[in-house]
Structure 1
Amino acid sequence: MTADSPDTAPDPHKEEGRLMFAGECSFIKGAVHLDGVPATAGVEIAFAGRSNVGKSSLVNALTGRKTLAKVSNTPGRTQELNFFQIGPKLTLVDMPGYGFAAAPEAKVNAWTRLIRRYLRSRPQLGRVYVLIDSRHGIKNTDEPILDLLDASAVSYQVVLTKVDQLKAAELEARKDEVRTALSRRPAAYPEILATSSREGEGLAELKSAIARLVSELPSA
């Protein structure tokens, strides 16, 4: 194997991703209606996932800030689209959790409509990162958002969370299972990322993937 082999070549976006998330990060606003969504510059990415899958924890872990995104043990606490500015080129959106939520059905339905309209009206949205609890894999409650992303032709990538709670063999089996489930979905990005907000595992790889996306897409 030579020094130029792809297996040993350094990731050109790893340092770029580190610097991107080590810089200035700030909360822009939360929006409960589409007309309240802010105008943003650069590339926009969004995090989606079942209630309590760890979206807010991952936002905080990526930015190294413990309270940038509010974390709650109560499923469904994130009730709006929360926008964060990550440096000059990236906006990160924390979407309302789907599935079980400690809220009235009417409010849950309103969140669902908001997500649908947001996905279909955001040309600067580069990718949605769909967080899946590695302990459980893709569940029935995940299928509607995957269907919506496919129907909307919005690129998405699965990020497994809480991988510190699995053994190595279990994690590889879960990756294979998820990869098979996504193989027939047209908008799914094939690479699966594995993370642990608590242990920091996989965060550098996720930052690098986001930095690569930002470098490849034209800024709005």
Structure 2
Amino acid sequence: MTDFQDSKKPDPFLEEGRLLFAGDCSFIKGAVKLDQLPDMAGVEIAFAGRSNVGKSSLVNGLTGRKTLAKVSNTPGRTQELNFFRIGSKLTLVDMPGYGFASAPEAKVRAWTKLVFEYLRGRPTLARVYVLIDGRHGLKTTDLPVLDMLDKAAVSYQIVLTKADKLKPGEHEERLAGVQDAIKKRPAAFPDVIFTSSEKGDGLPELKAAIARLIAERS
């Protein structure tokens, strides 16, 4: 466990999480319309975040596959709902980034509508992991997404990215600030996870959280 994670007893789901993401992993399909969504199966989780927050890097880091999700320096490159099958129990969805995107406004609105409709109408969706740049914490562009998730009663958990970019001692301050900001939000899961796709920090804890979620839904 990294020095910026809370000191706790060993999580029994750490090994289950490791095994979950060590198995088969494959791309199912990309969807730009609701009628293109794949059939629902098992537990489904989704990753949301501002453009260029590191969603694709995190998906690649979780699965240990460098090119499973495309990584780009161009914000807004992910323009569809990308579905991945992880083992036999989990479907992972990489959603289009919100906020700034290098695309026409009409297309950004279309992506946003697709995402919101997906979140409101997917019974197998167990949790949304909302990625926040750990260097900056929650920003005003994140709040409408959290508001929407609260209103739709979709469970979500904050995952702070780019932990390796912070100075020593800044992690606890950032964690405390985010936890305070979400404590009164009805659909927010209270635990916040700090991660670094580059260094691998926090990924075992995130895998364990996902494995625990699957066990709870089984």
TM-score (norm 1): 0.95
d(CA) in 1 for partners of 2:11, 2:184: 28
d(CA) in 2 for partners of 1:153, 1:50: 21
What is residue 3 of structure 1 aligned with on the other side?
A: none
What is residue 89 of structure 1 aligned with on the other side?
A: 89
d(CA) in 2 for partners of 1:158, 1:9: 21
Give CA deviations for 1:124-169 in whole Å, capped at 9, x if unaligned. 0000000000001100110111011000000000000000111232
Quote how far apart the aligned CAs of 1:183 are: 1.1
What is residue 175 of structure 1 aligned with on the other side?
A: 175
Give CA deviations for 1:57-101 in whole Å, capped at 9, x if unaligned. 000000000000000000000000000000000000000000000
Quote how far apart the aligned CAs of 1:171 are: 1.0
Q: Percent identity?
A: 71
d(CA) in 2 for partners of 1:186, 1:10: 28
d(CA) in 2 for partners of 1:112, 1:161: 22
d(CA) in 2 for partners of 1:106, 1:120: 21
d(CA) in 2 for partners of 1:112, 1:9: 40
SS of residue matched to 1:77 = coil
d(CA) in 2 for partners of 1:44, 1:28: 13
Quote how far apart the aligned CAs of 1:11 are: 1.5
What is residue 64 of structure 1 aligned with on the other side?
A: 64
In the alignment, structure 1 segments of 5+ residues that lack a partner are 1-6
What is residue 115 of structure 1 aligned with on the other side?
A: 115
What is residue 198 of structure 1 aligned with on the other side?
A: 198
For these two proteins, the number of residue pairs brought into alignment is: 212
CA RMSD in angstroms comes to: 0.9
What is residue 158 of structure 1 aligned with on the other side?
A: 158
d(CA) in 1 for partners of 2:96, 2:122: 16
- Structure 1 runs (4+) deviating above 2 angstroms are 7-10
Quote how far apart the aligned CAs of 1:40 are: 2.8
What is residue 51 of structure 1 aligned with on the other side?
A: 51
Question: Aligned partner of 2:37: which letter?
Answer: V
SS of residue matched to 2:178 = helix
d(CA) in 2 for partners of 1:95, 1:122: 14
SS of residue matched to 2:58 = helix
Question: Aligned partner of 1:198: which letter?
Answer: E
d(CA) in 2 for partners of 1:177, 1:120: 28
What is residue 11 of structure 1 aligned with on the other side?
A: 11
What is residue 106 of structure 1 aligned with on the other side?
A: 106
Question: Aligned partner of 2:180: which letter?
Answer: T
Quote how far apart the aligned CAs of 1:8 are: 6.2
What is residue 134 of structure 1 aligned with on the other side?
A: 134
SS of residue matched to 2:83 = strand
d(CA) in 2 for partners of 1:35, 1:147: 26
Question: Aligned partner of 1:78: which letter?
Answer: T
Matched, 1:125 2:125: yes
SS of residue matched to 2:196 = coil
d(CA) in 2 for partners of 1:13, 1:184: 27
SS of residue matched to 2:100 = coil
Matched, 1:149 2:149: yes
Give CA deviations for 1:99-136 in whole Å, capped at 9, x if unaligned. 00000000000011001100111010000000000001
d(CA) in 1 for partners of 2:8, 2:120: 40
d(CA) in 1 for partners of 2:132, 2:34: 26
d(CA) in 1 for partners of 2:208, 2:103: 36
In the alignment, structure 2 segments of 5+ residues that lack a partner are 1-6
Matched, 1:186 2:186: yes
